[in-house]
Structure 1
Amino acid sequence: MPQNYKAVTLTSFDQYADITKEVAKSLTARGVDIAAKGPEIHLVKDQLDRQALSLFSTGQVAEYELVYTLTWQIIQKGKDPEDKTIEVRRDYQDDPTKLLAKDRERELLVQEMRKEAADRLVRQLAQG
């Protein structure tokens, strides 16, 4: 991690959001002090969209593409905020006969997507 990002302030659209917790965990794992005065990492919003990829013969959606988007900023004193976007995509097969299992599978997939977005944010910071 570059020296100027060893200590940051992490702010978010929702301090209790799952993505906020994931980003904090990823930053801390890389040795970043997130409670310090320093450049501000601001999580602007996160969003999950899904698009139909294929249909069953009945017309029901058989497969979706899930798209998780994280919009964030680096705010440094004396500089304009840098807007950044991270997009994570996954295919998800639906089965209406296994509704509860598929709901749980989708939840786990979205958690994995959030973790990947948080890890990508930290990698982007590390690259300067």
Structure 2
Amino acid sequence: MSEAQTYYHGTKADLRVGDLIAPGRPSNFGNRKPSRYVYLSATLDAAAWGAELAEGEGPGRIYIVEPTGPLEDDPNLTNKRYPGNPTRSYRSRHPFRVVGELTGWTGHTPERIAQMRAFIASLPAHEADPIED
């Protein structure tokens, strides 16, 4: 990963520049237990999914973030659905600092979001839970 890489975090949280996104919040999927990791992506598409599928009220938001510690491939995507990490999705046990917000992004269609929500709802709980090893 390049030092000049731009990273994104999709959420419904209303954050400000300088805020930290830290582990310990409930997961958006599965049993929603507090996660030991925080997640980001180097692609806008993956960040858009994060913003659109996040729990909570309000609009989806995509923040530009910088890691404060090491990153690793997100095994929820890279090991299960997209070998080789084409989504360029990562996780960390260290917070991410918000350095900006991306506005004017184009998300998925309401029909596509509904399809993805239905797919996630159809998964057995153990498959929807994030990998927390």
TM-score (norm 2): 0.26
Task: Say which structure is richer in helix.
Answer: 1
TM-score (norm 1): 0.27
Task: Say which structure is richer in strand.
Answer: 1
Larger Rg: 1
